[in-house]
Structure 1
Amino acid sequence: MTTSNATSPSGSQLSEAQDFLAKYPDVEAIDIILTDFHGIGRGKMIRRHELEGIYKSGRGLPSSLFGQNVTGEDVDDCGLVQTGGGGDCRCWPVPGTLGYLPHTGRGQLLIAMYEEDGKPHDVDPRNVFEAQIKRAEKLGFHPMGAFELEFYLVDHTPDASGLYQPASYAMTKRRSTLRNTMSVDEIDEMSPLFDAIYEGAKHLDLTLETLISEYGPGQYEMTIRYRELMRAADDVIIAKRLIRTCARRFGLEAVFMPKPFGNEAGSGMHLHLSLADENGNNLFADQADGSLSPLMLNAIGGIRGTIGETMLLLAPFMNSWRRFASAMYSPASDDWGVENRTVALRVPGTPGKTRHFEHRIAGVDANPYLVAAVTLGAALDGIENKIDPGKPSKDEIGHAKAPNDLPRHWLEAIDRFGASEFNKRTLGPRFHTAFTKIKQAEYEHMALKVSAAEWEYYAFSV
């Protein structure tokens, strides 16, 4: 590949780097971030003088990064480790993601991986998702969306018993173990941290919006502005890192594990989705008679038929499945409904031109690119095949749900994912095989871990 900027397969422009360097003359380092299968950022910290070179000729990183488990250890039989001599592939900037983190004093840039001939690397999760975006565009659709992020803040160090506790407030250093759901005073006591987060977002083209204290002690939710679905997924990667790095500088840790406390609420990552036409008009808007859009209903029908096969992407880790132990606000189901928070696919009640639906199953630990890829892919299948979503659910909180076709535990989800032709077609065969192998190895590793609870219950009793 030549080193001319005109060859950048990502569409990145050298002017973005030049403008950044001019705007932030004191920045001496930039974190370049490639998102792996698990949603974890892998990459390098480069110096200021290296930034323009990445925009001119890319930067080499090993594709075996995608063959690692969550700890960064190679999974040898996944098919991605030490292939082709173990050489690097070329990574290029993701346009519009070069920004500044004022609390670190460094810049930040998302990158994506490409082959030397400029083709998107087929197992990079962002490229896997982009293939579904291009499919939608060929059909005349422009996917739009936003994610909601729920997370816990905990003290940086555990207590004397080795357990982590809900965070002491950044302003008062007081700690509350009460729920304080939607308490504005709780947000005020944590406001120095959130002020820093919102300030950082200004430098990252990240529009963080509503903040609430959620149902668990130390649990919060932040929403992000609705926009193009690809950028919405990028926003999750950027926002999680912003929140994490800010929290550390206040002596706290942001926890995106979906169930850090067994008796408290889990943390989800709800995806709001619609399709627009080339002029930006919402194709999911209500019909003239006030009825729901047939296009949206077909999309919901397509997703309902694949949720069981895609649960491993929505709940990718052992801890993910603890979130479904209670159905309270965590819909482990394949149903849909209007203004009903017990269902998997919720159509918010506000009628009119802003109509969309909300996919409520994914945990905050899920990779947003992969969640969006299978959600959009299934929605397009539903539209192309005019799949009927069935009748909306009328279930209420606390009522027993009808049986559904979802896996009941992590191992079943791994098996269902591996056997799925939908996943192989939507994600690509190499990605599908590698992800399955990595998750099988992770399950086998975790199955050998004996918990403290097992010692407490069984060690001297059975």
Structure 2
Amino acid sequence: MRTIEAPARPAAPQTRASIGELHDFLKAHPEIEAFDLILIDPNGIPRGKTVRRHEIEGIYETGRNLPGSILGLDVTGEDVDETGLVWSDGDADRCAWPIPGTLAPALWTDPPRGQFRVALHEMDGRPVEADPRHVLQRRIDALAEKGYRAVAAFELEFYLVDMAEGDSVPQPARLPLTGARPDGTHVYGIEELDRLEPFSRDLYRAAAAQGLPVETLISEYAPGQFELTLHHRDAMQAAEDLVALKHLLRGVARRHGMQACFMAKPFADRAGSGMHMHASLCDMDGRNLFADRDGLLAPPLLSAIGGLLDALPESMLVMAPHNNSWRRFSAQSYAPTTPNWGINNRGVAVRVPAGAPGGRHLEQRMAGVDANPFLVAAVTLAAMARGIAAERDPGLPADGDGSAAGDAPPLPRNWTEAIEAAQGSSFLKDALGETMHRVLLAIKRSEAARFAAYVSPLDYRLYLGTV
């Protein structure tokens, strides 16, 4: 009989959540009997399972095996074998370990459930390089080696929609307080926010229970469109906050008879939804390297902007990852169409907001709300670091209409061109890592092929009786 080595017990990574964190939570929440285990895939979609209370301690002690193919799924949940994560390795398990600080109650569920997010590791404890969280951690570690710490915050634009009887497409949702369907563009409207009660009350309560630093709620530039801001934190925590907030919004909206919509462009004739990332770099003592210097913008800030502008054309697949993402970009729409920058100008790709000189930062405005915040942050930080290292001059800021074409290389015009630009990008391969670069391209090529093969209702309307 031949000798065959048995599978090794998973090695615990140093970054896993502590068992003490779990025990404190269980003591504080004896009523919670089930927990959602959540892994974020390359599309930013939460995947996982619901486990019972008696299982949870074992997960914190020894991890929970999950198939690595979860990170090789397309947006519909179908396997993409070209990722190398499905049949080429036998759909092998990896080990999921709880992430510190993510264990929280989900107040919108009845009966109440807990939830926690996990990161996927190889059985020897190494990070699985197709896990988006590890991609961002790699960029954060690279910055730390240079003496930098990234601070960031995301803005989240979204629609609240429902399906009116007889309609095949969603409509702006009837607001909970009045039952009326929003009509007209009431940007910054206070009455619109008042009519959103009691949804907004439950939103803030649920966010507080999860430790999410949710701040301002705004009525945005279309009926049923809103924006939430998050307080700035370390870059990893900022991305964690964003994925947690999207999940929370879906749950709270559902309990109020609505659906939180995170499509970049759900309505052809209305504003699209972005996911703007505010970012700065500090030294290890917490000093903002982007703070103004004698009334002038700091050289590191200008160089970071230059790096971002250089990287945008080849990074657009991360910023606009779906076919629908590309419907968001049009002139004078608050969605940038040119890789340019400006000061206190919302028509540009990279904006320097007005504000206190000591808190100066940049705002990357390209990403849609449908993008994966871990990958958006990873690419943004990598581009900023490259620009600083090269002391890249971004040129003069755009003045006035930021959508006017400038001297910068053009952005891809559509999803297909974005895929091709990403394919040939050595920058993107380095920023994401070779594995994630391969996985993301395989997923996007598969999705694009499926989309191209679909015969839509518009096809029939245009061609059925005419050609």
Map of 1:190 onto structure 2: 196
How far is 1:8 from its partner?
A: 3.6
Q: Which residue of 2 aligns with 1:41?
A: 46
- Report the counterpart of residue 338 of structure 2 in structure 1: 333
What is the correspondence of 1:437-448 to structure 2 with a 5 Å cutoff? 437-448=442-453
1:422 to 420, 427, 447: 427
Q: 1:256 matched to which residue of 2?
A: 262
> Are 1:187 and 1:213, in contact at CA under 8 Å, matched by a contact in 2?
yes
What one-letter code is carried by the residue in structure 2 that aligns with 1:116?
A: M
Q: How many residues align?
A: 458
The answer for the alignment partner of 1:108 in structure 2 is 115
Q: Deviations over 1:258-297 (max 9, x none)?
A: 111000000000000001122222111011x111111111
Q: In the TM superposition, what whole-angstrom CA distance separates every residue of 1:14-49 from its partner, at most 9, and x where no partner exists?
A: 111111101111000110100001000111101112
Shift of 1:332: 2.0
Query: Out of 121, 138, 156, which is 2:128 matched to?
Result: 121
User: How is 1:362-441 mapped onto 2 (pairs within 5 angstroms)?
Assistant: 362-396=367-401, 404-441=409-446
Q: Is residue 10–residue 125 contact of structure 2 (8 Å, CA) maintained in 1? A: no
Greater shift after overlay, 392-401 or 354-363? Answer: 392-401
Q: Which residue, out of 65, 73, 95, partners 2:70?
A: 65
What is residue 210 of structure 1 aligned with on the other side? 216
Q: 3-state SS of the aligned residue for 1:274?
A: strand
**Aligned position for 2:252:** 246
Provide the C-alpha distance between the structure 2 equivalents of 1:65 and 1:410, rounded to a whole number of angstroms: 24
Deviates more, 1:451-460 or 1:432-441: 451-460
1:145 equivalent in structure 2: 152
- Residue 398 of structure 1 and its aligned partner are, at CA, apart by 7.1
1:124-176 deviation per Cα after TM superposition (whole angstroms, max 9, x unaligned) = 01101110000011111110000000000011x34313221100011111112
Alpha-carbon distance, 1:83 to partner: 3.7
Alignment of 1:332-351 (within 5 A): 332-351=337-356
Aligned to 2:464: 459
Change (3 A) 1:238 1:190: same
CA contact (8 A) 1:8 1:56 kept: no
Q: 1:427 to 1:316 in 2, by over 3 A?
A: same
CA-CA distance at 1:3 after TM superposition: 7.4
Counterpart residue type for residue 214 of structure 1: E
Q: 1:95-132 CA distances to partner (integer Å, 9 max, x unpaired)?
A: 11111111111111010001111111111011011100
Distance across 1 between alignment mates of 2:165 and 2:328: 24
Of 116, 125, 134, which aligns to 2:141? 134
* Separation (CA, whole Å) in 2 of partners of 1:185 and 1:327: 26
- CA distance in 2: counterparts of 1:161 and 1:23, whole angstroms: 45
Amino acid paired to 2:42:
F
Q: Structure 1's 299 and 398: CA in aligned 2 closer, same or farther, altered over 3 A? A: closer
Separation in 2 of the partners of 1:432 and 1:82? 19
Task: Identify the residue that residue 200 of structure 1 maps to in structure 2.
Answer: 206
* Structure 2 counterpart of 1:75, one-letter code: V
Distance, in Å, in 2 between the alignment partners of 1:388 and 1:178 is 42
- Gapped regions of structure 2 (runs ≥ 5): 1-7
* 3-state SS of 1:209 partner: strand
Aligned-pair CA distance for 1:394? 1.0
Alignment check: 8 A CA contact 2:41 2:47 kept: yes
Note the C-alpha offset of 1:84. Answer: 3.0
* 1:25-82 per-position Cα deviation (integer Å, ceiling 9, x unaligned): 1000110100001000111101112222221111111111111101110112222212
SS of equivalent residue, structure 1 residue 238: helix
- Asked if the contact 1:77–1:437 (Cα under 8 Å) also holds between the matched residues in 2, the reply is yes
CA positional deviation for 1:239: 0.1
C-alpha spacing 1:119/1:255, structure 2 compared with 1 (3 Å)? same
Distance in 1 (alpha carbons) for counterparts of 2:165 and 2:331: 27
Alignment of 1:156-235 (within 5 A): 157-235=163-241
For normalisation by structure 1, the TM-score amounts to 0.96
Mapped partners of 1:451, 1:327: distance in 2: 29
8 Å CA contact 2:292–2:360 kept in 1: the answer is: yes
